[in-house]
Amino acid sequence: MTKKIKTICNGLVFLLRNLLYFSRLTKIDTVKVTDEIVVKGASAKELKEMYSVHSEAFGCQTSLLHRALYRFLSKKCVFIAKDISSNRVIGFMLYYANKRDCIEKTVHATSLGVSSASRGKKIGTILGIQAKNHFKNNNLNGISAWVSLSNQAALKVDMKAGFKPIEKSFCKNENEERYYMILPTNDNKKWDFIDIEIL
């Protein structure tokens, strides 16, 4: 099998897995969290705005595979924060389900971005709280994330949000060690957390 065909097959499996997994979850509720900010699932128009914030935050485009996924599941796994007065997307949090999530009944946090004009306003914290509540209400066991050991800032933020590491591994693609972390959303599953030292 050529590399291109294998990539296409893996992409189709990824899309199918997520379509099936998220089909049983409810849509994200629209919640007015402050007088200035509302958090909700994204519409097709809001996805375009979200991709602009993503480009600004990360300096790159969202992959075509993830764009296809979010086109179908934007109301179930794309959390956006909107400024009420301007009606603009100012932040986002994206999720998907990997193979392990399907087994452990979790969902994977893939990226968080906030527009430069809205940084320092705890948008990420607000999005994280709403996502945790949403997935808890859908009876999922937790939220998973990979965090690089070299990214101490991200580790501190995730640990403060309640994520705890359950394993350490080496990623060949990125040539670095990383932690697989879980933010529990209920008491249905007992996790074997490991101790880590943050610098």
In this predicted model, what pLDDT tens digit does every residue of 166-199 receive, in sequence order?
A: 999 888 887 889 999 999 999 989 999 998 876 6
- The predicted model gives 113-124 an average pLDDT of 92
- The predicted model gives 17-35 an average pLDDT of 96
pLDDT band at 149 (very low <50, low <70, confident <90, very high): confident
- The pLDDT score that the predictor gives to residue 151 is 85
Of the listed ranges 27-41, 90-104, 156-170, the one predicted with least confidence: 156-170
pTM: 0.92
- The predicted model gives 48-61 an average pLDDT of 92
Residue 30 to residues 23, 75, 118, Cα–Cα distance (Å): 19, 10, 20
Domain ranges of the chain: 25-92+113-139, 141-199
Q: Which of residues 173 and 25 earns the better pLDDT score?
A: 25
- The pLDDT score that the predictor gives to residue 3 is 86
Residue 145 has pLDDT above 90, yes or no: yes
3-class secondary structure per residue, the chain:
CCHHHHHHHHHHHHHHHHHHHHHCCCCCCCEECCCCEEEEECCHHHHHHHHHHHHHHHCCCCCHHHHHHHHHHHHHHEEEEEECCCCEEEEEEEEECCHHHHHHCEEEEEEEEECHHHCCCCHHHHHHHHHHHHHHHCCCCEEEEEEECCCHHHHHHHHHHCCEEEEEEEECCCCEEEEEEEEECCCCCCCCCCCCCCC
Question: What's the chain's average pLDDT?
Answer: 93
pLDDT band at 154 (very low <50, low <70, confident <90, very high): confident
pLDDT band at 2 (very low <50, low <70, confident <90, very high): confident
Read off the tokens for 87: 């009606």
- The pLDDT score that the predictor gives to residue 199 is 62
Residue 1 has pLDDT above 70, yes or no: no
- The pLDDT score that the predictor gives to residue 105 is 97
